[in-house]
Amino acid sequence: MKLMRAIAGVGAIIAATVSSHAVGAAEDTIKVGVLHSLSGTMAISETTLKDTVLMMVDDINKKGGLLGRKVEAVVVDPASNWPLFAEKAHELLEKDKVAVVFGCWTSVSRKSVLPVFEQDNGLLFYPVQYEGEEESKNVFYTGAAPNQQAIPAVEYLMSKDGGGAKRWVLEGTDYVYPRTTNTILRAFLHSKGVADEDILENYTPFGFSDWQTEVSKIKQFASAGKKTAVVSTINGDANVPFYKELANQGIKASDIPVVAFSVGEEELAGIDTKNLVGHLAAWNYFESIKTPENAAFIKQWHAFVKNDKRTTNDPMEATYIGFKMWTQAVTKAGTTNVDAVRTAMIGQTVKNLTGGTAVMNENHHLSKPVMIGEIKPNAQFSVVWKTKDVVKGEPWSPFIAGGKPAAQ
């Protein structure tokens, strides 16, 4: 009996050792999900964000990892297919057991995955400007809310320095972000005394390419004798033929300025910009900003992708800030547990790349600067206006009746 008990004891020790090793093997890496379109209409914008996360993962692993463990990126391609975003999110959270996901560009993709993250208590870092009217405990919004992009851009164009626009073309891709943003902007314009007859609102599908008729409408609308500006929420690769058609029809920024919310350095890389000089974009970051932090980031980016011609842009900075804050929160919490990390995220600070400090607020939105840049012949932007200090992101617009619960 003693021999049998001894054998059984040894077996238990071996089993425990094997089990412990298996658990250790499973915990050797901290998995990070990357949920960005690498194909389809949004690949022009999202592929770079995938590369940005991979760069950040590579950087932290070179510094010894996180909590003494290697960080592993799990990359999936939802292919600009909104229902597929939800499937891939489910796969990342339940199959791959990722600790966090960095992903989505369009609001329709974010809306698609939101129920998955809330059901599985996952954590999503969303790095792109959006329409607001949302606040989830499972999402950290590191891109701009409307008060950090859309409203300041229109205020600038209304001002003397911005040209004093009186008529407005709200031109967008047909989905939730442009439509909600333009609902906010229309209400804001009304509050400034602009009548509906001085607002032209139009939407086209994702990937739209036949812009001749639409640009002709803009030109006709602007011929009424009042200074006219275009506010563009066109998304993805449709921007390339849109700007080409503006040039084809001789529309110059001095005549009809266009301010875009989804056109950055990456999108301009595919356009001949000589006829677009003077058109605008509103962001919280531009590659042309001269700071030590931005110079180091650009140098790191070029080294990682092994291409000195690859540009940087605003959603890349938002990804960078989000990733840094997440690693700081994990370190503070001592765990990747979502609830613990969520608590540790509030109040996290990271030096942004344009000077100053980004702060994560209790509403899961950042405080950050707002800038308006003018397109230059070299496909870069020159900053023509910026806020004096950081602006706290506010998801709920005071200009429309939002869906925020009364108790909040």
> Which two tokens mark 17?
């050792």
Assign residue 298 a region: left if phi > 0, alpha if psi is -120 to 50, beta otherwise? alpha
In angstroms, rounded to a whole number, what is the distance separating the alpha carbons of residues 234 and 270? 15
In angstroms, rounded to a whole number, what is the distance separating the alpha carbons of residues 169 and 178? 12
Q: For residue 199, give the CATH number of its domain.
A: 3.40.50.2300
Residue 271 falls inside a structural domain: yes
Residue 267 falls inside a structural domain: yes
Residue 160 falls inside a structural domain: yes
pLDDT for 404 equals: 61
Residue 342 falls inside a structural domain: no
**How would you write the pLDDT of the chain (408 residues) with one tens digit per residue?**
434 444 444 444 444 443 333 333 345 899 999 999 999 999 999 999 999 999 999 999 999 999 999 999 999 999 999 999 999 999 999 999 999 999 999 999 999 999 999 999 999 999 999 999 999 999 999 999 999 999 999 999 999 999 999 999 999 999 999 999 999 999 999 999 999 999 999 999 999 999 999 999 999 999 999 999 999 999 988 998 999 999 999 999 999 999 999 999 988 887 788 878 999 999 999 999 999 999 999 999 999 999 999 999 999 999 999 999 999 999 999 999 999 999 999 999 999 999 999 999 999 999 999 999 999 999 999 999 999 999 999 999 999 875 564 433
Residue 114 falls inside a structural domain: no
Long-range residue pairs from 397-403, CB within 8 A, at least 24 positions apart, any chain: 397/132, 397/133, 397/146, 397/147, 397/184, 397/187, 399/184, 399/187, 399/188, 399/191, 400/133, 400/183, 400/184, 400/187, 402/132, 402/133, 403/133
Residue 339 falls inside a structural domain: no
Count the domains in the chain: 1
pLDDT for 27 equals: 59
Distances (CA, A) of 48 to 34, 206, 269, 312: 12, 19, 12, 9
Nearest in space to 42 (alpha carbons), one of 102, 114, 107 = 107
Can you give the residue range of the structural domain that contains 163?
147-289+373-392
Residue 167 falls inside a structural domain: yes
Residue 83 falls inside a structural domain: no
